[in-house]
Amino acid sequence: MKRKSRQLPHARKAAYMIGGSVLLALVAPTAAPAFAADNITATEVSATVSQDSVRAAATLTSSTPITAQRAGICARDEAQGDVDFPAQMNEVISSSPTTFTGTATFAPGRYTYWACVQVGESWIDVSAPKSFTVADTAPTPTPTPTPAPTPASASASDTNPSGIAMPTGNLPGWKQIFTEEFTTPLARGSFPGAYSDQWLSYDGFPNTYKNGDYDQEIISAQDGNLDISMKTVDGRPLVAAPVPLVNGQWGGQTYGRYSVRMKADPVVGYGTAFLLWPDSENWNDGEIDFPEGHLDGSVKAFNHCPENPMRNCLAVPTSTTYAEWHTYTIDWTPDKLSFLVDGTVVGSTTSNIPSKPLHWVLQGETPGSPSPTSSGHLLIDWVTMYSYAP
pLDDT in tens, 94-128: 888 888 888 777 888 888 999 988 887 778 888 88
Q: Which CATH fold topology does 31-134 show?
A: Immunoglobulin-like (2.60.40)
What does the pLDDT read at residue 53?
Answer: 79
* C-alpha to C-alpha distances, 226 to 9, 173, 181, 249, 379, nearest whole angstrom: 22, 29, 8, 20, 6
Mean pLDDT computed over 218-226: 96
- Quick check: do 31-134 and 150-388 share a fold? no
What does the pLDDT read at residue 319?
Answer: 94
The better pLDDT of the pair 186, 150 is held by: 186
* C-alpha to C-alpha distances, 259 to 14, 78, 178, 382, nearest whole angstrom: 27, 28, 10, 8
Q: What angle do CA 299, 303, 308 make, to 5 degrees?
A: 140
pLDDT at 251 over 50: yes
Burial zone of 89 (CB within 10 Å; 0-12 exposed, 13-18 middle, 19+ buried): middle
pLDDT in tens, 148-171: 333 333 333 456 899 999 999 999
Q: Is the distance from CB of 318 to CB of 301 less than 8 angstroms?
A: yes
pLDDT in tens, 352-374: 999 999 999 999 999 988 999 99
pLDDT in tens, 187-202: 999 999 999 999 999 9
* Whole-number percent of the chain with pLDDT over 90: 59
Kindly report the average pLDDT of the chain as a whole number.
85
What does the pLDDT read at residue 142?
Answer: 41
Q: What is the maximal distance between C-alpha atoms in the chain?
A: 67
Q: Specify whether domain 150-388 bears CATH 2.60.120.200.
A: yes
Mean pLDDT computed over 57-76: 87
pLDDT at 134 over 70: yes
Q: What are phi and psi of 196, to 5 degrees?
A: -65, -20
What does the pLDDT read at residue 17?
Answer: 37
Q: How confident is the model at residue 303 (pLDDT cuts 50, 70, 90)?
A: very high
- The rounded distance, in Å, linking the Cα atoms of 147 and 160 is 11
Lowest mean pLDDT among 13-27, 31-45, 186-200: 13-27
The better pLDDT of the pair 303, 91 is held by: 303
Mean pLDDT computed over 215-242: 96
Q: How confident is the model at residue 376 (pLDDT cuts 50, 70, 90)?
A: very high
- The rounded distance, in Å, linking the Cα atoms of 298 and 293 is 6
Length of the chain counted residue by residue: 390
What does the pLDDT read at residue 105?
Answer: 76
What does the pLDDT read at residue 39?
Answer: 81
What does the pLDDT read at residue 158?
Answer: 53
Domain boundaries, the chain: 31-134, 150-388
The better pLDDT of the pair 88, 320 is held by: 320
- What is the SS3 assignment for 285? helix
